[in-house]
Structure 1
Amino acid sequence: MSDDVKAGVAAAKAALAGVPAEPGAPKQDAILTATGVRRAFGGLVAVDVAHIEVQRGAITALIGPNGAGKTTFFNLLTGFDRPSRGSWEFDGRRADRMRSYQVARSGMVRTFQLTKALSRMTVLENMLIGADRQRGERLWAAPFRWLWLKEEAQNAARALDLLERFKLADKRDHYAGELSGGQRKLLEMARALMLKPKMIMLDEPMAGVNPALKQSLLEHIKDLREEGMTVLFVEHDMDMVHEIADWVAVMAAGQLITEGTPDQISADQRVIDAYLGAHHDAAQH
């Protein structure tokens, strides 16, 4: 582990030291704060989070059994769905009324459980559409190539740098649909970084990824923290959570039931009950 990575890990752990292992625990420097967020589909309440804060500069895992509401919560926070009620702030600005593209422009970018790579576009083209506010895309500016030529070159250079970093440079001219599931995950993460986000939200980044690429993805996520980004990710693999998460928030039946360090969460009876339920009770008798 490099000195920079060690410093990033130490800073995140220091910021979270002393934070109580309880749902909605206040953080020293929260980049995201959500209160009273509820989403109901008819009579089914999918999300009902009273309060949550996400520590700036840390890697936070959001875990819970299937159907806990994790992805729905992500969709709400990033403007891909609308809450029945509730409010949240990102980096000091109210974000609950923003559309998804406005959320991304504000610095909070997310990936999806099922990757959204545009399969009939090349890998490089997928990267370039991730760049924001491109002059060449404006109708009035399109004929005046000199206005956006330099910007286009800068975006292409950044895209190629990111593809090199994610070991996809040799795939730049391949169609995204030709990539493996793991490579598409890498592409989606790289594309998200085109916006230079303050916070990146990863929805099950390891789902469908073969073991050979898992470690690579883990290292990339750690690198995000080293670069000063905040990471919030949904994951079921507790080995991965223990390896990279500074903090863990646990959802069950739409609610945030507890928070804490990975070690605290692993020993928390509320978490054991949420995951195992009646099977766990039966094993005790």
Structure 2
Amino acid sequence: MTADQPAPAQPVNPVAGAFDGVDPEPGVPKPDPILVVDDITKHFGGLRAVDVHHLEIQRGAITALIGPNGAGKTTFFNLLTGFDRPDSGSVYLNGESITRVAPHRLASRGMVRTFQLTKALTRMPVIDNMKLGATGQIGEHFWQALLPVWRRQEAEIEAQADALLERFNLTHMRDEYAGTLSGGQRKLVEMARALMTDPTIVMLDEPMAGVNPALTQSLLGHVKSLRADGRTVIFVEHDMDVVQDISDWVVVMAEGAIIAEGRPDDISADERVIDAYLGSHHDSDLFEEFENEQANEQDNEPGSPDEHA
């Protein structure tokens, strides 16, 4: 099986009923929140980039973060994952404050993220890129390399990396340089590497951006498999088909604030969301309008190089 083949069929959604009785309103409480945000703000000069009063992320669910360009999604994502610091407010993971915790320490607490532009070291083999994702490594020092405990840890890390490469259908790319992989394959490697820490919450920044349609189906299957593992997934995405396909809950940002929350079907008909995306065009379904906009953009493009898996 190659990386561009769809992932195996996943079990029934384990959190299918988690949002029963949850009102589709901004800041609504969730039955079992793993991540809670209170009064987070971030300014750049005189620009208010983020102003989120309250947000709860349901444990074990796939939550999409969407919004028009300039809505503050990436900045908010960076604040949640420790890559930027808020001017005020708090973020809690499992009831403990992580407001100003560094990203590498968040990884040890169970939160990891991927990036829209992948961070693979292109001149290293895929297997070595994978091993870099492991935490608690002793380190590569001459005297430590002579110790059995170091060699045993190295063997365990490599075995874990190989198992994840197999899970993501990347075993055949194990010894290839990461720079030779397609953009979609790098996304798979980054997602697989994120699991080296055995996280409880996985943050994905536009995981489908720049990925060809064949590989998109594989990525979608793997995101769903994270939920099947019992992990929580939060992802930023512009592709509304993807949002409808895999999301249990959708959070919508505009001008730095949360303007709507709900199931995908709730969001597609929410006038606040339609206003944010389409202004006064209230005569269309949001998802249909977005699909038409994407189709028009593709028709006007001269064409992009084919991405081979």
Conserved? CA contact 1:247–1:260, under 8 Å:
yes
Structure 2 equivalent of residue 45 of structure 1? 48
Deviation at 1:145, TM superposition (A): 3.0
Partner of 1:114: 117
| Offset, 1:140 | 8.7
Rounded to whole Å, the distance in 1 between the matches of 2:10 and 2:221 is 14
Question: In the aligned structure 2, how far is the partner of 1:66 from the partner of 1:158?
Answer: 38
Structure 1: 5+ residue stretches without partners: none
Query: Matched residues in 1 for 2:147 and 2:124: separation?
Result: 22
- Secondary structure in 2 aligned to 1:15? coil
Question: 3-state DSSP class of the match of 1:136?
Answer: coil
Any idea what the Cα deviations from partners look like across 1:110-169, whole Å, max 9, x if unmatched?
A: 0001111111111000000000011134x5963433121111111101101111111111
Distance 2:253 2:76 in 1: 10
What count of residue pairs does the alignment treat as equivalent? 278
Q: Which runs of 5+ in 2 are unaligned?
A: 1-6, 285-309
Is residue 10–residue 221 contact of structure 2 (8 Å, CA) maintained in 1? no
Kindly indicate which of the two structures has a greater share of residues assigned to helix: 1
Structure 2 residue 261 is matched with structure 1 residue 253: no
- Identify which of 90, 94, 109 aligns with 1:87: 90
Paired residue type of 2:200: K
Normalised by the length of structure 2, the TM-score is: 0.86
What is the CA–CA distance in structure 1 between the aligned matches of 2:20 and 2:9, rounded to whole Å?
21
Displacement of 1:93: 1.4
Summarize the Cα distance change of 1:237–1:149 in structure 2 as closer, same or farther, 3 Å threshold. Answer: same
Percent of residue pairs identical: 60
Looking at structure 2, the residues matched to 141 and 251 of structure 1 have their Cα atoms a distance apart, in angstroms, of 52
Deviation at 1:172, TM superposition (A): 1.0
8 A Cα contact 2:60 2:230, kept in partner: yes
- Matching residue within 191, 195, 198 for 1:196: 198
- TM-score (ref. length: structure 1): 0.93
- Pair 1:184–1:238, CA change in 2 (3 A): same
Deviation at 1:31, TM superposition (A): 0.2
Q: Which amino acid aligns with 1:158?
A: Q
1:5 aligns with 2:11: yes
Within the candidate set 2, 21, 25, 1:18 is matched to 21
* Distance in 2 (alpha carbons) for counterparts of 1:149 and 1:24: 49
Instruction: Please tell me the root mean square deviation across aligned C-alpha atoms, in Å.
Output: 1.9
Q: Tell whether the 8 Å contact from 1:135 to 1:147 is kept in structure 2 after alignment.
A: no
